[in-house]
Amino acid sequence: MAEKIKSQTSGLDTPRTARTRWLPRLSPNPDAFGHATENFARFMGTPQFLVYMTVFCAVWLAWNTWGPEPLRFDQAALGFTVLTLMLSLQASYAAPLLLLAQNRQDDRDRVSVRQDRERAERNLMDTEYLTREIAELRIALREVATRDYVRSELRSLLEELLEANDSSDDGPSRRSQRRRPDNSGASAVIEHMPKLNPGGREN
């Protein structure tokens, strides 16, 4: 029974115990390291870096060529080996730093492109919604009565009422009296109205 339990617990589904590490695990802050890397890569792409590098190499070569012989640390006979190693070390570190900065820039570009795509999709949806609303308003306005239509309907209704009223009258005299307005009252009112001077005063 014990052998059976031991065989079951020693399978692939059993996690393995963690190994002891001789060195501590390095976990630098990726944001801080990436920011420093981008600053260094940005500085390497400036004219100041090229000028400083040129001045450094010129001073190095001049000192090891014409300087005091006991104080020379890089022999010209050996082809300036130390300077060559330093430049190679710088190039070996500069390439990964530039790649890391480029990767971070690609990540930012990817995020900005995704945000632009989402914004464009929202704008398209808003435009489609507004287009549908405008189409519904146009369809609704087709069924609304216009001012000219209401006027024509009222005019036709008034004509029908006048015809019905005229047909109900007995004689044509009353009909003519109704159609001929009496202007005597209006003329009397006009005569009794006060007259105004050009200055706006009553006489």
Q: Which pLDDT does position 75 carry in this prediction? A: 80
* Residue 90 · residue 102 · CB < 8 Å: no
Distance CA 64, CA 19 (A): 51
Q: 10 Å Cβ neighbour count for 101?
A: 21
Alpha helices in 10-146, H assignment, sequence order:
30-44, 47-66, 81-142
pLDDT tens digits, residue range 37-94? 888 888 888 889 999 999 999 999 898 888 888 888 888 778 888 899 999 998 888 8
Distance CA 11, CA 45 (A): 55
Tell me the pTM: 0.46
* Closest to 63 in 3D by CA, of 53, 54, 78, 73: 73
pLDDT tens digits, residue range 104-130? 888 889 999 999 999 999 999 999 999
* Closest to 65 in 3D by CA, of 53, 85, 83, 91: 83
Q: Which pLDDT does position 9 carry in this prediction? A: 53
Which two three-digit tokens encode residue 27?
């976990």
Distance CA 98, CA 37 (A): 8
Average pLDDT value for the chain: 77
Q: Please report which confidence band the pLDDT of residue 186 belongs to, taking 50, 70 and 90 as the band edges.
A: very low
Q: Which pLDDT does position 200 carry in this prediction? A: 45
For residue 163, pLDDT beyond 60? yes
**CB-based burial of residue 8 (10 Å sphere; 0-12 exposed, 13-18 middle, 19+ buried)?**
exposed
Which segment, 68-72, 143-147, 165-169, is predicted with the most confidence on average? 68-72
Residues with Cβ within 8 Å of 145's Cβ and at least 6 positions away in sequence, in order, are 153
